[in-house]
A = this chain, B = another copy of it.
């Protein structure tokens, strides 16, 4: 899409040299053929060093845009980014000319659906009612149980087991909101990647990234009915019990254990080798390892036990 057309679409002034914009991306990751945006004060620091071809921003940020990069000045940058995101969203399915590839030894149920451009490796099972989207890949020796949905462009590694009803790569929960209380969808251009040797239970929801990838790393284990929001990362060998949930963009180090019905807020990180009791709600980044936490807001498990004991005594 031409930069000039994008400017027209969002009502921004533009009189520079026109270029073809290939995609949307973050300030940090955008290449010089990509468009970026600033919608949150905490990312203004990334403007000056961005390689983006253009940046959608408010007037006060415009002067920080580096030379060679175009500032598209608008009143509501996040809303306008949402408007533009729709233009870069891929088709729901590719057209029939895109070949489906199924490796030797794999068994694909005639009642499964491999969309045009889907690829399945060797010795895998794709069972009835499973859906593998365009550009999506399932590796070798993996089992995709009935009615699993893998959205387009997502990747399932080798030796994975995905139980029935799980959804990998639906759009994350992202939208811009205006003063009238209306919401404009952020189309999600990224994907979700499940690395090798991962087992995921039934009815789990793993959203695709806005840009880049939501990642479940090698050897992780997820139980049933778990929420993994856009742009999360679950470290190698980490374990999530049933009904636990992660808000967006949180990064979990290797070999953490999250108990049932636990949760973690968005944009946090957790160092490796911690344990979180059932119902624990993580509200801050954790830089220590080897600890056990509980409660909401979370605290060390021992402290939580003390507080519970104290509470019991209060009413005696």
Q: Which residues of A contact B (CB under 8 A)?
A: 92-93, 109, 111, 113, 115, 125, 127-129, 131, 143, 145-147, 149, 151, 161, 163-167, 170-171, 173, 175, 177, 181-183, 185, 199, 201-205, 207, 219, 221, 223-225, 227, 229, 236-237, 239, 241-243, 245, 247, 254-255, 260-261, 263, 265, 278-279, 281, 296-297, 299, 303, 306-308, 310-312, 314-315
**Contact A113/B128 with A224-B170, A227-B225, A261-B263 known, Cβ cut-off 8 Å:** yes
**Contact A173/B221 with A242-B229, A310-B315 known, Cβ cut-off 8 Å:** yes
Chain B nearest CB, measured from A36 CB (Å):
24
Q: Which chain B residue shows the least CB distance to A235?
A: B181
**Contact A183/B221 with A149-B165, A167-B163 known, Cβ cut-off 8 Å:** yes
Q: Which residues from B are CB-within-8-Å of A167? A: 163-165, 202-203, 224
A245 and B227 contacting across the interface, CB-CB below 8 Å: no
**Contact A164/B151 with A173-B201, A227-B224, A263-B279 known, Cβ cut-off 8 Å:** yes
Q: Which chain B residue shows the least CB distance to A159?
A: B185
**Contact A202/B202 with A129-B113, A219-B183 known, Cβ cut-off 8 Å:** no
Q: Which residues from B are CB-within-8-Å of A109? A: 113
Please name 5 pairs of A and B residues whose Cβ atoms are closer than 8 Å in the assembled complex, sorted by A. A111-B113, A145-B170, A167-B203, A205-B224, A243-B263
B310 and A296 contacting across the interface, CB-CB below 8 Å: no
